[in-house]
Structure 1
Amino acid sequence: MQHPHVAFQSGQKTAELEGLSHRPLKVAWTESGHGAPIILLHGIPTWSYLYHDVIPLLASHAHVIAPDFLGHGYSDKRDFFDRSLLAQTAMILRFMDHLGVDRAHIVGHDTGGGVALIMGIHHPERVDKLVLTNVVAYDSWPIDDMIALGNPSWRSKPPKEVCDFLASGLPDGLFNADRLTPAFIAGIVAPYNDEEGKISMIRNASALNSNHTTMLVDRHGEIQAKTLCLWGVHDPWQTIRDGERLAREIPNAQLVRVENASHWIPHDTPEKFASEIAKFIAPA
């Protein structure tokens, strides 16, 4: 029987994007549905598979596009390019150009939320509505596990040890124990279970830089897009206090607290997650 993440990955499209490094970089993505484009941005250490239950629920409402960040999932994992929030933002802009998408609803989770904030402030013309869901913001990140993983000493460890370390942190970000399935764990860590993937994840962790969110704090009030802060209230890392603060600081923002959900909210409560976003992006 085929693992769910294998089926998901087999449905991805890929493209080579130029201008992001001295050599073209591969970006992998999934798309489904028709209508207004909505781009789902994941975080670390996940990839677009985080949204595998959300994509079909949203596809009846919009043209859903879910890319893998550079160094993550099945996008380029070679060891010669930047993986910071600023670099990922540049990739998303180039990716939108490749698809011919001038403007989209942007959904950002975790570090993908850091990218979403950068886009909302620096590239408002590319953002329709903005969804910030348990995002990195302020100086509350990177968390201890990711700081540890960025240590170069991990390079000498086998890929399985890195994947086991990643898997060990997943339960803390899920409220609903029944969602912590072997298939979910295997799917999240699969792209990193070889030498190239291992090194790539170490580089992803070492690229985390809270300066890229603290530099935005006094500019949150410049965000023009209508914004939904959609927050799993049991998140131990990006806590509900950050969601409350963002909702206060962004002029046209609303906060929806999601009970019985933690950090990995797209997987923890996919139906609630999708329904709140569908309601938010629906034409007035």
Structure 2
Amino acid sequence: MNIETFRDRQQTISLAGIVREPVEVAYTDLGDGPPLLLLHGIPTWSFLFHEMIDELAKDYRVIAPDMIGYGFSDHRDNFDRSIEVQADMIEQFLGHLDVASAHFVAHDIGGGVAMILADRSPELVRSMVLSNSVAYDSWPIEEMLSLAHPRNAKMKPEEMKELLEETFEVGLSRPERRTQEFKDGVMTPYLQTDGIVSLVRNASSLNTNHTTPLTASLNKITQPTLLLWGEDDQWQPISTAKRLVQDMPDAKLHAIKNCSHWVPQDAPEEFTQETLRFLNSIESAISQAAR
């Protein structure tokens, strides 16, 4: 699916009370069934999941927002974009959609958001699929620390494009998955002046202090959790996933070979298949328990 088709079915909602002014959130809402929330990371946006949304929507109500400061959500240079604030936004966003509980499929910093909510609002998070997620003090990575310098807000579009192009070589193991469609889709929101500034501000908001406090609480996060992890990831290594399996009561790891950081793009079929197998088993257990 190209970016134009993806954008055509995005909706927009205005949310007040998260930061000083109301913010606009772009999102996809497709399908029926149990709610399934997709959360992207940095520097991507909900387009990260473009190859799997339709398949997931055959059985689930798939909701895929762009976090504030990302994609086609609000880019204004006057609000905090930390994962704590993103968690506030997601909580209010789901409330506006009358979603009391959802399965979370979350990548990178989206995983940090999911774990924050699983800890503080456990009734909201039915289960989690965490993919190459931030956790502990595994982040921010060097590339994001470098991008966060305020001088980069004055980057020219061609400079930002060159920087992002370099990340595709590291973030995707399979050369055939480094498609121009995916690259263009990820980069497009960040190649205009406001998008460049917004991405730099997103990078500057990354703070390991927002996940390290969770470390002592991980043994109390009891939601069923599947760790779908690319083995080749240099940014969020699989050692993080193995540690999470040890620390979380109901977590299991499915490692994906020849796969790096952006697992939904590097291995979309395996990602979708394993996600559906996991979610369907949970929904089946819920159904049987209700009988």
Shorter-chain TM-score bucket reads over 0.9
TM-score normalized with structure 2 length: 0.95
Letter in 1 for 2:245: A
Aligned counterpart for 2:85 among listed residues 69, 83, 87: 87
Aligned-residue RMSD, C-alpha: 1.0
The offset of 1:229, in angstroms, is 1.0
Quick one: distance in 2 between partners of 1:153 and 1:172?
A: 24
Structure 1 spans left out of the alignment, 5+ residues: none
5 Å-filtered alignment, 1:268-279, equals 268-279=266-277
Instruction: Summarize deviations over 1:158-179 as a string: whole Å, max 9, x none.
Output: 1331232122112201111101
5 Å-filtered alignment, 1:23-42, equals 23-42=21-40
The answer to whether the 8 Å contact 2:154/2:197 transfers is: no
Aligned counterpart for 2:45 among listed residues 37, 44, 47: 47
TM-score normalized with structure 1 length: 0.97
Letter in 1 for 2:178: L
Letter in 2 for 1:167: E
Instruction: Summarize deviations over 1:88-129 as a string: whole Å, max 9, x none.
Output: 000000100010000000111000000011011111010101
- Overall identity of the aligned pairs, in %: 45
SS in 1 for 2:64: strand
5 Å-filtered alignment, 1:1-284, equals 4-282=2-280, 283-284=284-285
Quick one: distance in 2 between partners of 1:48 and 1:116?
A: 15
The offset of 1:185, in angstroms, is 0.8
Q: Which moved more, 1:80-89 or 1:222-231?
A: 222-231
Quick one: distance in 2 between partners of 1:272 and 1:249?
A: 25
Structure 2 spans left out of the alignment, 5+ residues: 286-291
SS in 1 for 2:59: coil
The offset of 1:72, in angstroms, is 0.2
The offset of 1:233, in angstroms, is 1.0
The offset of 1:6, in angstroms, is 1.7
